[in-house]
Amino acid sequence: MSGSPEQERLIAALEHQLEEARSKISALEDQLIDAWQQVTDLRRDSLLQGQRLHQFDRVLSGLTYSADGLMTTKKNTAFLKDPRFQSAYQAAMATGHRIESGNNDGPDLHIEWRIAISCWAAHHARQLDGDFVECGTNTGMISSAICRYLDFNTVPKSFYMFDTFEGIPLDQVAIGEQPEMKAWMNERWYGDCYELARRNFEAFPGVQLVRGRVPESLPTVAIGQVAYLSIDMNVALPERAALEYFWPKMVPGGVVVFDDYGFEDHELQKAAHDEFASAHGLEIFLLPTGQGLLIKP
């Protein structure tokens, strides 16, 4: 038995509204399921993040060194508290250098471990015949630390320090060595510093500053045997030339420290030195500090 047309229209309208309601309820159910999944995922991610943060906190709390791109845990860093090393390091940072590290600690670049490696190498070389040579001195940070660490006035050696003392010769910079950056470094960090370096070493008669470009300046000084060689000129051409010049003078057991060897943007220097070492059947050891270490057999 059917109703009136008006009733039929009303029933049809109600059925349509009911169907729309069911569709909306179904959509809401899907949204609720999605929302619940998102909440579940967020809770899981939050838990994982909390676990990671906890692990990171544990790592940070166990750090024994964090500076100069190097972080260590569970490593003995007693050398940092050694009074002799502390005195040498502070002398290095007080040379009047203009290099910036971005750590807001003024002249302290926090390169303690790098300085410690150079002091160790110099201490090793002290036991050998031959003099000390540094190619790339600037104000004398590393060499100042060495002179004080070894009490160089008691060491029967000469310490020759080669540098332009006015920055990197830009005509020696290869295209792949960021010439614009080197020009910026000259302007910002490496101005004329000869008199400053001279004052820094006036208490050490065994130190001889040799002002000029490398390699042109190398034969201007009569140097016999070499026990310690530091190479830090920021570009490959003079560094390779210095290595080739002094290698025949290096005594057995003599040590070469390459300051820039393992750092990013210094790949051409590393490649040049690796090529040299390989030609002599040797390998340069890359230290976690970024330095390279080569021992003369």
Q: pLDDT (tens digit, 9 = 90+) per residue, 109-155?
A: 999 999 999 999 999 999 999 999 999 999 999 999 999 999 999 99
Domain residue limits at 1? 1-61
Same domain? 284 vs 140: yes
Same domain? 133 vs 105: yes
Tally the C-alpha atoms within 13 A of residue 26's C-alpha that lie toward its C-beta.
Answer: 6
pLDDT at 60: 59
pLDDT in tens, 176-200: 999 999 999 999 999 999 999 999 9
Same domain? 11 vs 125: no
**Is the CB of residue 115 less than 8 Å from the CB of residue 142?**
yes
Same domain? 179 vs 147: yes
Same domain? 79 vs 200: yes
Mean pLDDT score across all residues of the chain: 91
Examine the fold and report which residue of 61, 80, 113 is the final residue of a domain before the chain moves on: 61
Would you give the distance in Å from CA 185 to the centre of its chain? 16
Q: Which residue has the tokens 């300051």?
A: 259
Same domain? 95 vs 201: yes
Examine the fold and report which residue of 34, 61, 88 is the final residue of a domain before the chain moves on: 61
Same domain? 33 vs 115: no
Same domain? 75 vs 52: no
Same domain? 227 vs 156: yes
pLDDT tier at 58, thresholds 50, 70, 90: low
Partnered with residue 160 across adjacent β-strands are 133, 208
pLDDT at 23: 79
Same domain? 18 vs 106: no
- For residue 162, give the CATH number of its domain: 3.40.50.150
Q: How far apart are CA 116 and CA 81, in angstroms?
A: 12
Q: How far apart are CA 67 and CA 73, in angstroms?
A: 13
Examine the fold and report which residue of 61, 87, 113 is the final residue of a domain before the chain moves on: 61
Query: Exposed, middle or buried: residue 5 (CB in 10 Å: 0-12, 13-18, 19+)?
Result: exposed
Same domain? 235 vs 121: yes
Q: How far apart are CA 204 and CA 159, in angstroms?
A: 9
Handedness of CA 185, 191, 196, 197 (dihedral sign): positive
pLDDT at 11: 74
Cα-based distances in Å from 48 to 45, 55, 107, 136, 155: 5, 10, 40, 49, 58
Nearest Cα to 137, choosing from 114, 111, 167? 167
Domain count, the chain: 2
Query: Exposed, middle or buried: residue 290 (CB in 10 Å: 0-12, 13-18, 19+)?
Result: buried
DSSP E strand stretches across the chain: 63-67, 70-73, 131-135, 159-163, 207-211, 226-231, 250-258, 285-286, 292-295
Same domain? 27 vs 85: no
pLDDT in tens, 76-95: 999 999 999 999 999 999 99
pLDDT tier at 3, thresholds 50, 70, 90: low
pLDDT in tens, 274-283: 999 999 999 9
